[in-house]
Amino acid sequence: MQNIFNDESQNRLLSIYYTAGYPTLDSTVSIAEKLEKAGADFLEIGFPYSDPVADGPVIQHSSEVALKNGMTLKLLFEQLKELREKVSIPVFLMGYCNPVLQYGVENFCRDCQQAGINGVIIPDLPMYEYEDLYQNIFHQYQVSNIFLVTPQTSEERIRKIDRLSNSFIYLLSSNATTGKDLDVGNQTERYFQRLKDMKLKNPLVIGFGISDRFTFQKATNYAKGAIIGSAFVRLLEAENYEHAITDFVQGIKGKIAKSV
């Protein structure tokens, strides 16, 4: 697996988010493989949940379909057993705390390690709870926990997040749900610049509202990378989405796809 987050030669990293089990139950690993070949730098695979409060309608719909298809954490880890035979770029899981607690935090981290998952993003896992109860488990299984920062996060909390992190920090472009367009006004740019000027030890990756080449380039003026979710999940609604993945990624990054 590539260590892209500490590599100063690699910038404007593109991460793609999509939901496991969507559009079909068995499409998770094949989509990851296609995204790497198309030029994505790292991936976020969402595990579906029945009450995804931070997600906009596109990702909520994908979660509903994935759950109806039969996707569970147990099945996802079964599918991910073949991930590292096909995908070499970093892969993170993203989802909500309740399914992880039901699965068992240690079981979850162990299965992440066995599947070659680099880290997880659990937006509703409180920082104090992670620090007091779960940090040692995450470290034992070498799974990075990715924290989120919003425009309202205090500098003190950001500094603490930086101390607790060992991969990247997820910088939310706004307090809105996913799928809202990026506000590229002066206020947002001042927020991004403020975080950039803090000279944190962990790189910043911006998410929420990144949907096209313009917003990707704008975000990565201030951060190591940016994450596209809803715009890609929307693409998966098409019957021939496999053929559109390369054009989508190249349209964002302008990269030549890797040979299949």
Residue 224: CATH number of its domain: 3.20.20.70
Active site residue 132: no
Crossing angle (nearest 10°) for helices 241-253 and 28-38:
40
Tell me how far apart the alpha carbons of residues 125 and 96 are, in angstroms, rounded to a whole number: 8
65 belongs to a structural domain? yes
Single out the catalytic residue among 36, 44, 78, 197.
44
Find the farthest-apart pair of alpha carbons in the chain and give their distance in angstroms, rounded. 47
Backbone angles phi, psi at 108, to 5 degrees: -65, -50
Q: Tens of pLDDT along 26-41?
A: 999 999 999 999 999 9
The closest alpha carbon to 76, from 94, 101, 54, belongs to 94
Tell me how far apart the alpha carbons of residues 122 and 150 are, in angstroms, rounded to a whole number: 15
Supply the pLDDT for residue 227: 96
Supply the pLDDT for residue 10: 87
Measure Cα distances from 4 to 8, 21, 91, 141, 259 in Å: 8, 27, 12, 20, 21
Supply the pLDDT for residue 30: 97
Tell me how far apart the alpha carbons of residues 216 and 99 are, in angstroms, rounded to a whole number: 31
Query: How many domains, in total, are found in the chain?
Result: 1
Domain around 66: 13-147+211-251
Residue 167 sits at the vertex; the CA angle it makes with 8 and 173, to the nearest 5 degrees, is: 90
- The stretches in the chain having pLDDT less than 50 are 1, 176-180, 256-260
Supply the pLDDT for residue 187: 82
Q: Answer whether 120's CB lies under 8 Å from 145's CB.
A: yes
Supply the pLDDT for residue 178: 47
Single out the catalytic residue among 36, 41, 55, 111.
55
CB neighbourhood size of 27 (10 A): 21
Q: Provide the pairing of β-strand 119-121 with 91-94.
A: parallel
Supply the pLDDT for residue 189: 86
Supply the pLDDT for residue 183: 55
41 belongs to a structural domain? yes
165 belongs to a structural domain? no
Active site residue 55: yes
pTM: 0.92
Tell me how far apart the alpha carbons of residues 55 and 75 are, in angstroms, rounded to a whole number: 22
Residue 181 sits at the vertex; the CA angle it makes with 180 and 182, to the nearest 5 degrees, is: 115
Q: Tens of pLDDT along 183-213?
A: 555 788 889 999 999 999 999 999 988 999 9
103 belongs to a structural domain? yes
81 belongs to a structural domain? yes
Supply the pLDDT for residue 111: 98
